[in-house]
Amino acid sequence: MELKAKQVLKVKEYEFPLDRLYYKGRNAHLWVKREGESVLIGIDAFLAESAGYLNYLSITAEKLEKGEAFANVESAKFVSKLYSPVSGEILEINQEVIENPRLINESPYEAWIVRVKPASEDVLKQEDLLSDREKLTAWIEEEIARLEEE
């Protein structure tokens, strides 16, 4: 179901649907979206755009630990680890996205990477998981400024 415009935050050219949480940890830029008992994890629009067209995506962990690397993404000129926003068990890996990571560039909020069973309900109630418009806007503006300085 498409979100109404007011449910999508826009910061400069980047869009953030407000039906999910955004991980603010260092080198993070992952989203977490609840789906029943599990959560989906994917890359937000800022990282999808700033990394460039992704050529490779690999999952490097069997279990997620909050703040620990669990995947690598790579474009023609950039490579980065992805750090998990939650602890939990990987239930499913999106093979379509592994085989064609450019789906993330085309549609970052549809192209989830892993489906996870969170270790507890509390893992979704952390200060570094943002859904608040103001906090999200402030953080993305900082990130844009940081990128422009690089």
Partner 1 sequence: MESPEYVQTSTAAAMTLKLFPGRFYRGAKLKALNLLLTYSDGCKASCAYCGLSSKRVPVSSKTFIRVDWPIFATDEIIARVNMYGSSLERVCISMITHRRAYEDTLTLVRRFHEETPLAISTLISPTLMKSREMVAELKRAGADMCGIAVDCATPELFDALRGRGMGGPHRWDHYWRVVDWAVESFGRYNVSVHLIVGLGESEREMLATIQRAYDAGAEAHLFAFYPEAGSPMQEHERPSVEQYRRVQLARYLIHRNLARYEDMRFSTRGEVVDFGVSRDVLEEVIEEGKAFMTSGCRGRDGEVACNRPYGNERPSEVLRNFPFLPNEEDKALIRQHLGLA
User: Can you give the binding site for partner 1, defined by CB under 8 A?
Assistant: 48-53, 56, 72, 74-79, 105, 147, 150
Cβ distance to partner 1 smaller for residue 51 or 114: 51
Least Å distance between CB 16 and partner 1?
17
Token output for 107: 């549609």
Which residue type does 45 have?
A
Least Å distance between CB 127 and partner 1?
28
Residue with tokens 């239930």: 91
Cβ distance to partner 1 smaller for residue 57 or 113: 57
Buried b (16+ CB within 10 A) or exposed e, 58-76: ebeeeebebeeebbebbbe
80 burial class (0-12, 13-18, 19+ CB within 10 angstroms)?
middle
Cβ distance to partner 1 smaller for residue 48 or 82: 48
Cβ distance to partner 1 smaller for residue 38 or 53: 53
Least Å distance between CB 99 and partner 1?
13
Cβ distance to partner 1 smaller for residue 88 or 101: 101
CA distance 22 to 140: 10
Least Å distance between CB 72 and partner 1?
7
Least Å distance between CB 48 and partner 1?
8
**In sequence order, which ranges of the chain are alpha helices (DSSP H)?**
45-51, 95-99, 102-106, 133-149
